[in-house]
A and B are shown apart, each in its own frame.
Chain A
């Protein structure tokens, strides 16, 4: 049943957030330290294990896939409820930050590509070059 998937997802999120809270307390930060990231790891591990042991049915999975499919609409709602008026007073910050990070990241692509051609495994055999 879909609710099993949603319950698994919720348990992972809550466990991750509690872990993040505890880590925060341990390092003396009043914040949730990495909780959402921990929850994602938990979900990957839990669903991998459940699927391998055949205990996660397609119908159960739909209770998780629904939430990942409404991710963009939820981000749109998040954007629509931010204090944009105050942010606009900061003017160029988002544009400068966005442009700077893209330029630096583009520049790094050829540098990292040169670091030994070790992996990508079999897929690099099927490498098909672009036309430009």
Chain B
């Protein structure tokens, strides 16, 4: 019996990245299943999967006492490589592919204004919350501010600036809270904020920025609005990754 365990363990450790693909793929599949069956699609599968990832990181941290979440368990160390800065940045840049310049021009003036307002506002709100909670260095404030933008902008900013893993985890969690709130609350506030035409949907996408939140929230409000909101939202993460670790960090550093 112990020979079987040894054999299993040696294979999983040696092929750790392949193990990670298998484990994460299974998690994603389960999360989308839960999304469809238990929440009737109200909460997007991706949000459930990321939440499951954070839970797994907690379990790993408690059981090993390490700092790298579930990746501290030797068999699952490949998850650290898969979710590390190298492959993450490659995948994020790849999402910009397929964005056509014509489409960007079509978003027009109000699209650009809403994108800038959305990104700057999120950083400002996140940084203020971070400051009140005692994270008073510019790197942590910018990273948590990035998390208030999206759960991608936070860690990308944090990696670029050299933030601690703890602060990065905070920023991912903040982005996740935002994404889930946008998904679930949008249908309820839609009529209050005049979200009933393509123009306001476009502005909504630029202000919120979380693609999964915007797409999920608009789908539950009026599916015809999804492409307008998603169009501006797709630019948001890129803009955040561009401005966060540059202009916004320099401004925040000058302020604190």
Q: What residues of chain A have their CB less than 8 Å away from a CB belonging to chain B?
A: 9-10, 12-13, 16-17, 20, 23, 27, 29-41, 43-45, 47-48, 61, 64-68, 70-88, 90, 92-102, 104-110, 112-113, 115, 117-121, 123-124, 126-132
Determine the interface band of chain B, counting residues with CB < 8 A from chain A. 35 or more
Chain B residues in 8 Å Cβ range of A78:
53, 83-84, 88, 155, 172
Known contacts A31-B161, A36-B241, A76-B52; A81/B110 CB under 8 A: no
Chain A residues in 8 Å Cβ range of B144:
93, 97
- What's the least CB distance linking A36 to chain B, in Å? 4
Known contacts A33-B160, A80-B54, A112-B114; A47/B83 CB under 8 A: no
Known contacts A88-B58, A93-B130; A83/B241 CB under 8 A: no
Task: Name 16 interchain pairs, CB-CB below 8 A, sorted by A.
Answer: A29-B249, A36-B160, A38-B242, A40-B238, A76-B83, A85-B62, A95-B174, A97-B130, A98-B148, A100-B129, A101-B125, A110-B193, A112-B110, A117-B199, A120-B110, A132-B191
Q: Which of B190-229 contact A (CB under 8 A)?
A: 190-191, 193-200, 202-204, 207-208, 221-222, 224-225, 228
Known contacts A34-B245, A40-B96, A121-B106; A105/B133 CB under 8 A: no
What 6 pairs across the A-B complex have the smallest Cβ distances?
Answer: A37-B242, A98-B177, A119-B108, A77-B83, A79-B53, A78-B83
- What's the least CB distance linking B123 to chain A, in Å? 9
- What's the least CB distance linking A40 to chain B, in Å? 4
Most chain B CB atoms below 10 A, which of A65, A67, A92: A67
Q: Judge whether B91 and A82 touch: CB under 8 Å.
A: no
Known contacts A30-B162, A120-B198; A41/B242 CB under 8 A: yes
- What's the least CB distance linking B110 to chain A, in Å? 6
A77 CA to B172 CA, complexed, in Å? 12
Q: Judge whether A29 and B89 touch: CB under 8 Å.
A: no
Known contacts A82-B172, A98-B177, A119-B109; A71/B92 CB under 8 A: yes
Choose among A76, A87, A115 the residue that contacts B49 (Cβ–Cβ < 8 A). Answer: A76
From A89, which residue of chain B is reached at the shortest CB distance? Answer: B166
Choose among A65, A74, A118, A121 the residue that contacts B82 (Cβ–Cβ < 8 A). Answer: A74
A124 CA to B90 CA, complexed, in Å? 36
Q: Judge whether B177 and A113 touch: CB under 8 Å.
A: no
Chain A residues in 8 Å Cβ range of B99:
44
A78 CA to B121 CA, complexed, in Å? 25
Chain A residues in 8 Å Cβ range of B97:
9, 43-44, 47, 61, 64-65, 68
Q: Judge whether B110 and A102 touch: CB under 8 Å.
A: no
Q: Judge whether B246 and A23 touch: CB under 8 Å.
A: yes
Choose among B147, B172, B200 the residue that contacts A113 (Cβ–Cβ < 8 A). Answer: B200
Choose among A82, A98, A131 the residue that contacts B174 (Cβ–Cβ < 8 A). Answer: A98
Known contacts A100-B129, A112-B117, A113-B200; A16/B93 CB under 8 A: yes
Chain B residues in 8 Å Cβ range of A86:
61, 67, 165-166, 169
Q: Judge whether B245 and A124 touch: CB under 8 Å.
A: no
Q: Judge whether A108 and B117 touch: CB under 8 Å.
A: yes
Known contacts A65-B97, A67-B91, A80-B70; A75/B198 CB under 8 A: no
A87 CA to B62 CA, complexed, in Å? 12
Choose among B56, B91, B169, B228 the residue that contacts A71 (Cβ–Cβ < 8 A). Answer: B91
